[in-house]
Amino acid sequence: MNLLYIYWQPSEYLIHLGTFGVRWYGLCWVTGLALGFFLMRWLYKRHKYPDAKFEPLFLYVFFGVLIGGRLGHCLFYEPSYFLGSWDGFVEMFIPMRHLQDGTWKFVGYQGLASHGGVFGMLLGLVLYIRRSKMPAWVVLDFMGICSCITATFIRLGNLMNSEIIGKTTDLPWAFVFLKVDSQPRHPGQLYEALAYLIFFVVILLIYRRNSAKVGSGLFFGLCLTLVFSFRFLIEFTKEVQESFENSLPLDMGQLLSIPLIAFGVWAIVRSRKI
């Protein structure tokens, strides 16, 4: 036994009283969304956009991320289950699981894909922009400034849930996810959380020095390029989420990252012409 390894088996709950409980995963999600919300409000005020323009945004983003993340997980990672039967198709949309005894059990939305969440968020932003008549690239740049702090806390939630685990390693900072097995593994969730926190600070510092570039696409492009380039590389340290990925040249996370990296690079190049 290597005493340097971190043996990881936290409780799923911060508070658990009877049937009521506050899960760490949910708390991390709420914290990330709240920080993104208040930072976005600050940006709207700083650039003198009225509250009436800001107020509808949260619902478009929240439901876009939730629906996109859920559908992304079901269609990208478990299509055979969710499209293979009527029960599976229904479970794609409701937080229930049909048990073998014929009853339905509330299980929450188990499985949210980050790439699906991004695609859903972008669709939500398109709908919001059409309704609010906000300048599209201003909204996208605001989102680029805010998103990394939310992503940081989502990955911390994955860490608390011992999910999206890394491959086995003998590095001294390896985590042993006791809920999974007794093997030391890369803490891929922690790698991502730390990287996204650094990206958030970097983008925010660039914004503080170049706030006039809001509306050019620079900050949106930086966010996509940094986050999904790192995501592409870090996948080499992570276990595949579904067995069918073993037959692919790259895993699903990497394949889905490529168009987002390309979009981000294009946005940065576009911003240099404005």
b/e burial code for range 114-140 (CB count within 10 A of at least 16 → b): bbbbbbbbbebbeebbeebebebbbbb
- CB distance 260 to 231 below 8 Å: no
Q: Which residue(s) pair with 3 in the sheet?
A: none
Q: Report the C-alpha gap between 58 and 216 in whole angstroms.
A: 22
Backbone angles phi, psi at 172, to 5 degrees: -65, -20
Nearest of 63, 64, 78, 120 to residue 260 by alpha carbon: 120
Q: Is 155 annotated as a binding residue?
A: yes
Quote the radius of gyration of the chain (alpha carbons, Å): 20
Query: C-alpha 237: how far from its chain's center?
Result: 18
Annotated binding-site ranges: 155
